[in-house]
Chains A and B, each alone.
Chain A
Amino acid sequence: MDKPVVTRKALVLGLGLVLLLALPPIALAMDEGFFISLFSRILIYALAAVSLDLILGYAGMASLGHGAFLGVGAYVVGILAFHLSDGSPLPFLPGAWAGTASALIAWTAAILVSALFALVIGALSQRTSGVYFIMITLAFAQMLYFFFISLSTYGGQDGVNLEQRNTFPLLDLGDDTSFYYVCLGLLLGFVFLCKRLVNSRFGMVMRGCKQNETRMRALGFATYRYKLMCFVIAGAGAGLAGALAANQSEFVSPGLMHWTRSGEIMIMVILGGMGTLFGPILGAAALLLMEDVLASYTEHWMIILGPVLIFVVLFARRGIYGFLAGPGGRDG
């Protein structure tokens, strides 16, 4: 049988991309500018969810502490902005470094710092596996959560307010439409990177680890290093999402690291379709839209969302993306 010219997967992806690209003008034409910021939030959580899926769906590491990296990335942006307006030098660094509002510097710093945290947490957590891995990542996330609560300089439990969004060359991030396209660009860039990654030799080793780590080790791969590297890349991605989230809400708080947030990101991945790169994006959109729509009908929207989640687990095992794109939907 001939392969159809347009596969179901290509159709779904193409439509999705067109929709995302066309959203701001449509929203503005409908005079519903609120949609732009809602979808910016969706894109940011999609970025975090894709990064979690990299370790969850491809390397088989179920981390319930991914919110930690989101929070670290957000706090890097928040702390840099705080010291810029305060005029005081940055803490934890030798010499007197001033804060900054430049997106290029702040976001790069967010990526690097969260990658560093992921390196340490990953190196220790890799000693365990399965359920114990879920729990040790949760433990580290909770440690960071309480650590940031204790930082009274940065507002403790209440967090830090940003005076304005970061500055970006040639663009005004304070404008919701520009910010939306920056988020979209970064998300697409990250997905592209991940796609190259999972189809590379590195990605093959990771997926081999998910299926049978003992065999991979017997084949002579240093699986510890591969999995750690993967964990660091995922942490860096979540850190970037955190930096964007800080800009989107112009506010940073320890709530970003609470375990329920990590749980939500994990739900986005599973809801959308684990082990696919586009699934988590759909999952993020579905969860956040569902929250938004249900919340407009009833204050008790969670009583509907809860059973929906159970239903998805029981009857729609391949997630939304698997449902839309059909059996050929897997990436690589």
Chain B
Amino acid sequence: MRRRLACAGAAVFLLVMTFYLFLEQTLNAFQLGVMLFLMAAGLTLVFGIMNMINLAHGSFYMIGAYVSAYVGHATGSFFIGFLVALPVAALVGMAVEIIALRKLYNRDHLDQVLATFGLILFFNELTAIIWGPQAIFVPIPELFAGSVEIIPGVPYPVYRLVIILMGLAVALALRSLIVSTRTGMLIRAGASNREMVSALGVDIDRLYTIVFGLGALLAGLAGALAGPILATEIGMGENILILTFVVIIVGGIGSVRGALVGALLVGLVDTYGRAFLPTVLRSLIEEPSVADGLGASISSMSIYILMAVVLIFRPRGLFQAYG
């Protein structure tokens, strides 16, 4: 009897531990998910409204991260750096749109890929010239340092919680912008039929520049937020860019709701894959090194598998754009 109780106790203990681990990983997944959403929202709007593939979207993320790190370091305040980074990213985005990308909206997607690939090279080198090739590390701001217990016994870093809340707040703000303002109405109209919008006398060029700037601002926000948890380095934009493309393809191009669902889905699949797959495989495969290698590679592949499966069954993504 006592033995059985001990067994049950151990099982409960294991279950609780698994639950804690699960909770922690779910929060990590949400944190990755909202970062991806910040990137994806702008990219999917530019894609859906201007019909433009912008590979340089990751560059705005990098610019946001670098400006925030640099200004934050120079002034000694993370928040000043953060507040300076957002308008800088938006202004760079608008400048790029006016100087180069505006001429590409009616061109083939391949031309857009080539030109924006050129922009990536340009921005990466420019960053290397200004700030040097080494990665910059940004400390977590003191206000958000340390961790809190979300439920008793489960500590979680405050800063990551802040990112999650920030991302959700932006999602809500974006929703009210799109649903209940005039600009939002034009954005929705542009996504479903841009010729009609311009035929109705809307200054479509200005709308495009605004949307582009908004997208760049959100990307810069993501970059500035990422600074303290990831290394600020050249090429950071490309890594997240590919994930972002997965998100908007899974969610359906042009749909902000799809971007949110896709971002959370990709965050969950990627985080759970990395956290739990190696353990699961290790219990199935005897050789631990083989299991670890396989687990690492399958979890790196998992989001691409997700995207391929979604596209095979829903060739236009999970959500259709408005209209």
Contacts and interface: CB of A to CB of B under 8 A. Distances in A.
A267 B110 CA distance: 9
B283 interface: no
A64 B294 CA distance: 25
B304 A139 contact: yes
A302 B124 contact: yes
A235 B306 CA distance: 24
B301 A143 contact: yes
Interface stretch (A7-15, A144-152, A170-178, A218-226): A144-152
Given A127-B315, A131-B253, A135-B245, A309 B301 contact: no
Given A150-B293, A270-B111, A303-B122, A263 B117 contact: yes
A62 B124 contact: no
Interface string B152-193: 000000000000000000000000000000000000000000
A266 interface: yes
A134 interface: yes
Given A134-B109, A139-B308, A140-B308, A313 B253 contact: no
A143 B312 contact: no
Given A142-B242, A143-B301, A300-B129, A136 B307 contact: yes
B114 A142 contact: no
A142 B307 CA distance: 11
A151 B296 CA distance: 11
A200 interface: no
A56 B114 CA distance: 14
A314 interface: yes
Contacts of A128: 311, 315
B323 to A, nearest CB: 18
Given A135-B307, A303-B126, A305-B121, A62 B109 contact: yes
Interface residues of A, number: 47
A310 B100 contact: yes
A196 B118 CA distance: 34
A143 B122 contact: no
B236 to A, nearest CB: 14
B229 interface: no
A139 B307 contact: yes
B235 to A, nearest CB: 9
B18 to A, nearest CB: 26
Nearest to A129: B315
Given A131-B109, A138-B242, A309 B311 contact: no
Interface in A233-279: 259-260, 263, 266-267, 270-271, 274
Nearest to A149: B297
A128 B113 CA distance: 19
Interface of A: 56, 62, 64, 124, 127-132, 134-136, 138-140, 142-143, 146-147, 149-152, 156, 259-260, 263, 266-267, 270-271, 274, 300-303, 305-310, 312-314, 317
Interface of B: 47, 53, 100, 103-104, 107, 109-111, 113-115, 117-126, 128-129, 238, 242, 245-246, 249, 253, 289, 293-294, 296-298, 300-301, 304-305, 307-308, 311-312, 315-317
Given A150-B294, A314-B100, 17 more contacts: A127-B312, A132-B315, A136-B308, A139-B307, A146-B301, A146-B304, A147-B297, A152-B289, A266-B110, A266-B114, A267-B114, A300-B125, A302-B121, A303-B126, A306-B123, A309-B115, A313-B114
